[in-house]
Amino acid sequence: MPTRRPEGPEPTSPAPRRATRPPGTWTPSSTCNRLMSGTSMTRELALLADAFGYGLPDFRGFAINAMKSAFIPFDERLAIIGNVIKSWYADQRKA
């Protein structure tokens, strides 16, 4: 039986996340198979920014939530969140 793609926008266009996602829920964004889809995380985030007005604070939250779900040990996730993600976004606010 073939796999059926869920109803909704094409994978290379951003889904209407801000308008439909309840507060406090996580918003996934993925390139899936970037070599086949012809996209990148940079392009996907730019599409989200253009479509819904997302900015660095939103992307910071997305990155932290993504790391919370990463398949690495808990201590490593916390270290990356604190030492890489939060540090990088803090530097961007100063610039």
Extents of the domains making up the chain: 55-95
pLDDT of residue 94: 85
Residue 61: its H or E element: helix 56-68
pLDDT of residue 10: 53
Identify which of 44, 53, 58, 65 has the alpha carbon closest to the alpha carbon of residue 89: 58
Model's pTM, two decimal places?
A: 0.66
User: Residue range 67-93: average pLDDT?
Assistant: 93
pLDDT of residue 58: 87
pLDDT of residue 6: 47
Residue 75: its H or E element: helix 74-80
CA 73 distance to own-chain centroid = 20
pLDDT of residue 62: 87
